[in-house]
């Protein structure tokens, strides 16, 4: 229902520099394995309660890994309802971050969000027009793909690690395009006050659920969204009737999601006018084929020679499904006019790789 990623308008993301390279030497993104369960539990315990796609529950995390392994192993011609769970490996086998892709949301149960709309009331007698904002519950994103669940251990939030992990998902989509929908979306974590207050939830959701935002989030993360279908109001919410603190939270991004906001914008996702029904965080979307990585990325064969230091860093990905790997490397043509790539040795000579500027 909600993923930890974020929006904006036209923020520029500074490209990686050679200084980023040594810190990420040997680091790579790969599919999560059952052996990663202790590491994922540790990551979940380091996250705050708003991380709905990374619940601090060993059984729930094990079930997510199993579901992901099944998705990687399943032959498919089109997206169904798969979860692909990726981890950032620091080169020692330790998972220091995680991210998700959902191939087609809103299938097992509806994918709810509020759509921000306007309604005009007109009185000929008073010669008056009044426009009011409404929040209308919808399933507009049903059938789309979703990127979400982005979380890095606090100790490694530097040197391009977040960009490597976040953008690896788009390389996976590019290399397995038939497994994803025509539209890709992300739901973004909404604003919470410095003291942990949840003004939008307290004004709306709590009135129908009778529990805190964190309790509702956790319940839906573990048991699905049927609770929403059962208890959420069916009629539009007039924003003018909400407290000022709740109105101010609508569409506002959580401070911790600002870096992810810039990554999403850089990839081409834009605001849609929808907000999360729990915390009113905004949603972003983009036609999948217009994602920047899919537009700018290229496939090439690897030459057996190290690239010169002068070349700019690229994201490199190879492997299919369960053997997928993505890492940061410098690239360069093997020789003038040759379309092969020289890499530092993480891929085999002659191997096909997908690459995009970092």
* Ordered structural domains, the chain, with CATH: 20-296 (3.40.630.30), 298-358 (2.40.40.20)
Question: In the predicted model, is pLDDT for residue 19 greater than 80?
Answer: no
Q: Which of 155-169, 184-198, 289-303, 338-352 has the lowest mean pLDDT?
A: 338-352
C-alpha 107/C-alpha 144 separation (Å) is 10
Residue 266 bears catalytic tag:
no
CA dist 153 → 13, 43, 94, 346 (Å): 21, 6, 11, 25
Compute how many other C-beta atoms are within 10 angstroms of the C-beta atom of residue 189: 26
Question: In the predicted model, is pLDDT for residue 309 greater than 80?
Answer: no
Q: At what angle do helices 161-175 and 258-267 cross, to 10 degrees?
A: 40
Residue 165 contacts residue 150 (beta carbons within 8 Å): yes
Per-residue pLDDT band at 234 (split at 50, 70, 90): confident
Span 246-267, mean pLDDT?
Answer: 91
Residue 87 contacts residue 98 (beta carbons within 8 Å): yes
C-alpha 191/C-alpha 189 separation (Å) is 7
Active-site option among 28, 153, 176, 254:
254
pLDDT value, residue 333: 67
C-alpha 33/C-alpha 262 separation (Å) is 29
pLDDT value, residue 308: 61
pLDDT tens-place string over residues 153-199 = 888 877 789 999 999 999 999 999 999 999 999 999 999 888 888 99
Q: Six-digit token pair at 114? A: 């509020």
Residue with tokens 């229902």: 1
Give phi and psi for 95, each to the nearest 5. Answer: -85, 120
pLDDT tens-place string over residues 23-69 = 788 899 999 999 999 999 999 988 877 677 788 889 999 999 999 99
Chain mean pLDDT for the chain: 86
- Element containing residue 207 per DSSP (H, E): helix 205-209
DSSP state of 219: H
Would you list the DSSP string of 16-65?
A: P-TTHHHHTTT-EEEE--GGGHHHHHHHHHHS-TT-TTS-S-HHHHHHHH
Q: Six-digit token pair at 11? A: 């923020």
């Amino acid at each position: 229902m909600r993923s930890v990623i974020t929006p904006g308008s036209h923020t520029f993301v500074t490209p990686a520099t050679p200084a980023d390279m040594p810190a990420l030497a040997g680091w790579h993104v790969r599919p999560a394995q059952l052996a990663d369960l202790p590491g994922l539990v540790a990551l979940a315990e380091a996250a705050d309660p708003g991380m709905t796609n990374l619940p601090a529950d060993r059984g729930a995390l094990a079930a997510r890994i199993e579901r992901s392994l099944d998705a990687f192993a399943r032959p498919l011609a089109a997206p169904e309802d798969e979860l692909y769970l990726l981890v950032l490996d620091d080169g020692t086998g330790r998972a220091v971050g995680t991210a998700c892709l959902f191939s087609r949301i809103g299938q097992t149960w509806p994918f709810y969000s509020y759509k921000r709309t306007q309604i005009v009331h007109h009185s000929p007698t008073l010669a008056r027009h009044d426009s009011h904002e409404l929040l209308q519950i919808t399933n507009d994103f049903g059938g789309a793909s979703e990127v979400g669940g982005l979380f890095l251990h606090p100790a490694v939030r530097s040197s391009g690690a977040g960009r490597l992990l976040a953008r690896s998902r788009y390389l996976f989509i590019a290399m397995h395009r038939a497994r994803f929908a025509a539209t890709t979306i992300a739901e973004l974590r909404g604003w919470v006050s410095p003291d942990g207050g949840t003004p939008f939830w307290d004004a709306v959701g709590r009135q129908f659920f009778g529990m805190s935002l964190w309790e509702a989030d956790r319940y839906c993360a573990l048991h699905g969204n049927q609770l929403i279908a059962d208890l959420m109001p069916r009629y539009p919410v007039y924003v003018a009737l909400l407290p000022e603190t709740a109105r101010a939270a609508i569409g506002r991004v959580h401070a911790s999601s600002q870096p992810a906001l810039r990554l999403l914008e850089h990839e081409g996702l834009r605001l849609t006018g929808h907000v999360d029904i729990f915390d009113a965080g905004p949603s972003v979307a983009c036609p999948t084929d217009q994602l920047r990585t899919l537009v700018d990325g290229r496939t090439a064969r690897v030459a057996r020679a190290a690239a010169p230091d002068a070349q700019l860093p690229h994201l490199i990905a190879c492997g299919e499904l369960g053997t997928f790997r993505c890492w940061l490397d410098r690239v360069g043509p093997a020789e003038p006019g040759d379309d092969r790539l020289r890499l530092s040795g993480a891929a085999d000579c002659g191997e096909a790789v997908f690459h995009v500027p970092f």
